[in-house]
């Protein structure tokens, strides 16, 4: 016991005023330490602060020792911050907080102690997604399942889904297993689990699943944890999934000292199995739970808060809450339309430079994107201007596996001697050139002092390799030669596109039903389109090496770039929200896959985005994006329309538009565009619609109209009711057509050229 801090020490370490900085409701939530408590409150109301203070309070009042507290957060970063905040209150005593971490980290610790109960050894390994896929692939092959049709990644996704719902193979509902390989899902799942056990390994999903199995089938073990964990605390509770809920419920059953904080409006992981229903379940499973609501927001100014609240009000599926702030005044949320993605990155970079000139820091600025492909333009701009930046929660754009693969192909086309590139892609996508063959080849190259390509050319003339490998390698070399020959006469974006298609790289991604394959395809499209800005392949590759060479700016004062998903719980003085365009945000995929539910989750994501801002929130949308070298015109996100007009304004100080010369510049760019992009876009209708998008138009459209020499964004109620079936309409993307059906603000239109499409009423005008 001697190395453990004594409670009296803890009490002495307590600063007398840690409770005084709280408002009455927060204080109630902190002091109601016994029994179940649910804090349900909007963004920035101090939920995390309450949780941390509560933990400190429990320690400071001697109710528990640090190792008797279980606190789960969503990310390691959040866990680290929680420790720091507690340390600031209770001092070194916080070091004993062994059980503060993510669900996964804590579950892994518990599993180590009881691994044998699920047939593992305490030394078990946690495999990553690559290993998981490899393992599943072997399994599918052994079972003679067509792994092109039923991919390993698809199955891995299913397994993950089942584990998130707390279903071990013997608990899997019958219908679930039917989804895969003609009703063989359940059997394969059981085999996969058995395989993992033999390997003394588990995947991420297993951590919680094994915990649940152990705790629910060994009452003695469970009782031990009831004894141990005197108090349990959970942050971001709205994003917990069923498995996490079951786990918490098991652990909290004993003492019932469970405190969860969350916000249903910020539930953004439905696609990963998070259940907002867990909030409702809480009161049922823990009868007599105290529910505390916090309504005062301490983070954002009044305009930011009102804009976010106005937006989220459009969601039907919510519990509803009030929010207010004393931070009156402040800037309105700025909404800007720009020409394209490049203009958007220019705008953001300019504003960051202005922020720095105003004696502020880079790290106070965050760029929150919906999809990773959006990062590219910002990263390149920042490299060029030497603005330090950091990508949080994922690789930088140019460091992503698919981007590196694409670059490796290009490098090998450019230079046959690039062995690193050769090694990277000789079997990507899989062509049946296994690791042993590659090692043989590289050994040969080293021995002969030649490049891998040269060695390969020799090798395929011999019988050193198995016939199938030899054929595959010859085909690869032939492909490379063909692309090399093409490269002189083909524009480099087109070259890369061809390589990606002909090598089977994109096909492999398309077939693969894994959760990240679409994102990777989007990133590749973005890559292809961005290459057009360089004169030659060589110039492009040089540029890439420059971008890659930039020191990792971690820890330094740098702009923070991340997805909206990873921004949860964080706050920044200046927040940029780019790409608010239909299809990008809300994401088309999410709407296609989950309809209204998907749209509402997107809207919650927008709410999370705006509420990250303390002083300034700046939304932007581009009129055009280039996809595979073709321009497509974009429509502003419906979320732009949904922002309350009183809290929003369009900025003009950037010079991209506004009454002055800027506007003329923008106009002349549009003229250029009309002549460059061909007849389809130059039609009067297109012109009209573009102008309408930017300078005001029929009701229901997000309008940017001129006022006081500036452009002001206004938003009006949707134009529902303004149309009747049978009416002719015009749509920017699809052209002319006739309305066949109307459902709320959605119109079904039979377009003359584009066929039948569902569109939003505010995006069409009467023809
Ligand atoms: P989110 O929903 O985004 O996770 P949250 O509810 O967890 O937000 P916190 O991050 O805990 O909110 O708090 C938001 C900001 O308000 C923080 O900067 C925090 O320090 C501050 N804050 C919270 N409560 C108070 C208070 N009583 N007095 C002063 N500042 C406060
Ligand atoms: Mg929080």
Same domain, 373 and 434: no
Range from 23-27, 98-102, 272-276, 357-361 carrying the lowest mean pLDDT: 272-276
Counting from 1 in the atom list of ligand 1, the atom nearest the Cα of 236 is: 4
Look at residues 586, 579, 617 and name the one whose alpha carbon lies nearest to residue 603. 586
**Cα distance between residue 702 and residue 157, in whole Å:** 39
- The domain that contains 481 carries what CATH number? 1.10.486.10
Give the pLDDT of residue 764.
76
Can you give the pLDDT at residue 84? Answer: 87
* Alpha carbon distance 38, 280 (integer Å): 10
Written as six digits, the tokens of 227 are 């004894």
Indicate whether residue 48 lines ligand 1 (CB < 6 A).
yes
**CATH number of the structural domain spanning residue 276:** 3.40.50.300
| pLDDT at 553 exceeding the cut of 90 | no
> Is 687 within a domain?
no
Do 498 and 613 sit in the same domain of this protein?
no
Residue 45 Cα to ligand 1 midpoint, Å, equals 5
Q: Which of 79-83, 603-607, 660-664 bottoms out in mean pLDDT, i.e. has the lowest?
A: 660-664
User: Using CB atoms within 10 A of its CB, is residue 480 exposed (0-12), middle (13-18) or buried (19+)?
Assistant: buried
Least confident range of 54-68, 92-106, 153-167, 314-328:
314-328
Q: What is the pLDDT of residues 62-80, one digit of tens each?
A: 999 999 999 998 887 788 8
- For residues 416 and 443, membership in a common domain is answered with yes
Q: Is residue 602 part of a domain?
A: yes
Tell me, in angstroms, the distance from the centre of ligand 2 to residue 262's CA.
Answer: 8
Lowest-pLDDT range of 504-518, 601-615, 686-700 = 686-700
Residue 693 in any domain: the answer is no
Residue from 336, 568, 612, 618 carrying the catalytic annotation = 612
Q: Say if 583 falls within a structural domain.
A: yes
**What mean pLDDT comes out for the span 170-186?**
89
Q: Is 612 a catalytic residue?
A: yes
- CA atoms 75, 79, 85, 86: torsion sign: positive
Residue 173 is part of which domain span? 125-199
Whether residues 588 and 641 fall in one domain: yes
pLDDT tens across 696-728, in order? 333 333 333 222 222 223 222 233 457 888 889
674 token code pair: 């009309």
Query: Using CA atoms, how far apart are residues 420 and 534, in angstroms rounded to an integer?
Result: 24
Average pLDDT over residues 458-471: 89
What's the CA gap between 281 and 423, in Å, rounded?
Answer: 52
Q: Are residues 93 and 30 in the same domain?
A: yes
pLDDT tens per residue across span 413-454: 988 888 888 999 999 999 999 988 998 888 888 888 889 999
Ligand 1 lined by 185 (C-beta under 6 Å): no
Residues 208 and 230: their CA atoms lie apart, in Å, by: 20
DSSP sequence for 12-73? HH--TTTTTTS-HHHHHHHH--SS-EEEEE-TTSSHHHHHHHHHHHHHHTTSS-GGGEEEEE
Average pLDDT, the chain: 83
Which ligand 1 atom lies nearest to the CA of residue 608? 3
The residue whose CB lies within 8 Å of the most ligand 1 atoms, and thus the one to mutate among 40, 48, 610, is 48
pLDDT value at 343 more than 90: yes
pLDDT band, residue 4 (cuts 50/70/90): low
Is the model's pLDDT at 211 over the cut of 90?
A: yes
> 103 and 224 share a domain?
yes
- Choosing from 14, 26, 45, 48, which is the catalytic residue? 48
Same domain (yes/no): 414, 392: no
To test the pocket of ligand 1, the residue of 44, 88, 237, 294 to mutate (highest count of ligand atoms within 8 Å of its CB) is 44
Regarding whether 651 and 641 lie in a shared domain, the answer is yes
Q: Which helix (H) or strand (E) holds 713?
A: strand 710-714
Would 179 be classed as within a structural domain?
Answer: yes
Residues 265, 315 contacting (CB under 8 angstroms): yes
Q: Which of 25, 26, 45, 47 is catalytic?
A: 47
- Average of per-residue pLDDT across 324-341: 89
What local confidence, expressed as pLDDT, does residue 669 receive? 34
Do the domain assignments include residue 231? Answer: yes
| Range scoring the smallest mean pLDDT among 183-192, 262-271, 399-408 | 262-271
The pLDDT score that the predictor gives to residue 128 is 78
Q: Give me the number of domains the chain comprises.
A: 4
Closest CA to 740 of 753, 758, 722, 754: 758
Residue 2 above 60 pLDDT?
Answer: no
């Amino acid at each position: 016991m001697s190395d453990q801090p004594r409670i009296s020490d803890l009490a002495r370490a307590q600063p007398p005023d840690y409770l005084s900085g709280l408002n009455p409701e927060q204080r109630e939530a902190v002091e109601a330490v016994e029994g179940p408590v649910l804090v349900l409150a909007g963004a920035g109301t101090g939920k995390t602060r309450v949780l941390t203070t509560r933990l400190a309070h429990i320690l400071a009042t001697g109710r528990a020792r640090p190792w008797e507290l279980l606190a789960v957060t969503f990310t390691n970063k959040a866990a680290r911050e929680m420790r720091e905040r507690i340390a600031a209150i209770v001092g070194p005593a916080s070091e004993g907080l062994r059980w503060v971490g993510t669900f996964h980290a804590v579950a892994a610790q518990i599993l180590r102690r009881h691994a044998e109960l699920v047939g593992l050894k305490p030394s078990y390994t946690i495999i990553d997604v690559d290993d998981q896929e490899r393992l599943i692939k072997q399994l599918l092959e052994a079972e003679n399942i067509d792994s092109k049709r039923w991919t390993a990644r698809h199955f891995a996704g299913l397994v993950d889904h089942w584990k998130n719902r707390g279903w071990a193979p013997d608990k899997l509902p019958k219908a679930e297993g039917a989804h895969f390989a003609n009703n063989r899902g359940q059997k394969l799942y059981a085999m996969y689990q058995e395989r993992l056990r033999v390997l003394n390994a588990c995947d991420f999903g297993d951590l919680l699943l094994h915990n649940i199995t152990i705790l629910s089938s060994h009452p003695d073990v469970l009782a031990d944890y009831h004894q141990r964990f005197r108090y349990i605390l959970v942050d971001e509770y709205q994003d917990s999934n069923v498995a996490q809920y079951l786990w918490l419920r098991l652990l909290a059953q004993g003492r019932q000292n469970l405190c969860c904080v969350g916000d249903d409006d910020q539930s953004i992981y439905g696609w990963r199995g998070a259940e907002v229903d867990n909030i409702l379940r809480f009161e049922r499973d823990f009868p007599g739970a105290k529910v505390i609501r916090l309504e005062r927001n301490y983070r954002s100014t009044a305009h930011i808060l009102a804009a976010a609240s106005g937006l989220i009000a459009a969601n039907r599926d919510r519990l509803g809450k009030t929010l207010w702030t004393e931070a009156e005044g402040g800037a309105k949320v700025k909404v800007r339309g720009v020409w394209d993605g490049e203009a958007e990155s220019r705008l953001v970079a300019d504003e960051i430079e202005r922020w720095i000139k105003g004696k502020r820091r880079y790290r106070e600025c965050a760029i929150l994107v919906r999809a990773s492909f959006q990062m590219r333009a910002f990263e390149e701009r920042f490299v060029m201007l030497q603005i330090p930046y950091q990508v949080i929660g994922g690789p930088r754009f140019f460091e992503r596996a698919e981007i590196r693969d694409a670059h490796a192909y290009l490098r090998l086309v450019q230079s046959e001697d690039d062995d690193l590139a050769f090694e990277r892609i000789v079997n990507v996508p899989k062509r049946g050139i296994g690791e042993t063959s590659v090692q043989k080849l590289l050994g040969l190259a080293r021995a002969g002092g030649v490049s891998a390509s040269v060695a390969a050319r020799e090798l395929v003339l011999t019988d050193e390799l198995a016939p199938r490998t030899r054929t595959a390698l010859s085909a690869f070399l032939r492909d490379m030669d063909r692309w090399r020959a093409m490269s002189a006469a083909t524009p480099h974006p087109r070259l890369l596109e061809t390589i990606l298609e002909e090598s089977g790289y994109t096909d492999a991604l398309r077939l693969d039903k894994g959760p990240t394959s679409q994102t990777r395809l989007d990133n590749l499209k973005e890559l292809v389109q961005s290459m057009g800005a360089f004169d030659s392949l060589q110039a492009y590759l040089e540029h890439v090496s420059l971008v890659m060479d930039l020191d990792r700016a971690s820890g330094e004062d740098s702009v923070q770039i991340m997805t909206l998903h990873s921004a949860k719980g964080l706050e920044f003085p200046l927040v940029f929200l780019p790409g608010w365009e239909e299809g990008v945000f809300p994401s088309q995929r999410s709407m296609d896959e989950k309809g209204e539910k998907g749209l509402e989750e997107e809207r919650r994501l927008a709410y999370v985005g705006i509420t990250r801002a303390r002083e300034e929130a700046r939304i932007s949308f581009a009129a055009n994006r280039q996809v595979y070298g073709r321009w497509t015109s974009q429509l502003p996100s419906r979320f732009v329309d949904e922002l309350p007009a009183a809290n929003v304004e369009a900025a003009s100080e950037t010079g991209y538009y506004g009454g002055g010369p800027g506007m003329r510049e923008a106009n002349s760019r549009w003229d250029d565009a009309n002549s460059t992009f061909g007849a389809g876009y130059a039609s009067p209708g297109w012109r009209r619609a573009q102008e309408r998008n930017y300078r005001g138009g029929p009701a229901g459209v997000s309008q940017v109209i001129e006022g006081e020499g500036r452009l002001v964004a206004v938003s009006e109620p949707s134009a529902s009711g303004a149309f009747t079936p049978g009416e002719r309409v015009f749509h920017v993307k699809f052209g002319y057509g006739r309305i066949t059906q109307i459902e709320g603000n959605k119109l079904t239109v039979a377009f003359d050229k584009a066929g039948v499409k569902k569109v939003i009423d505010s995006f069409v005008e009467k023809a």
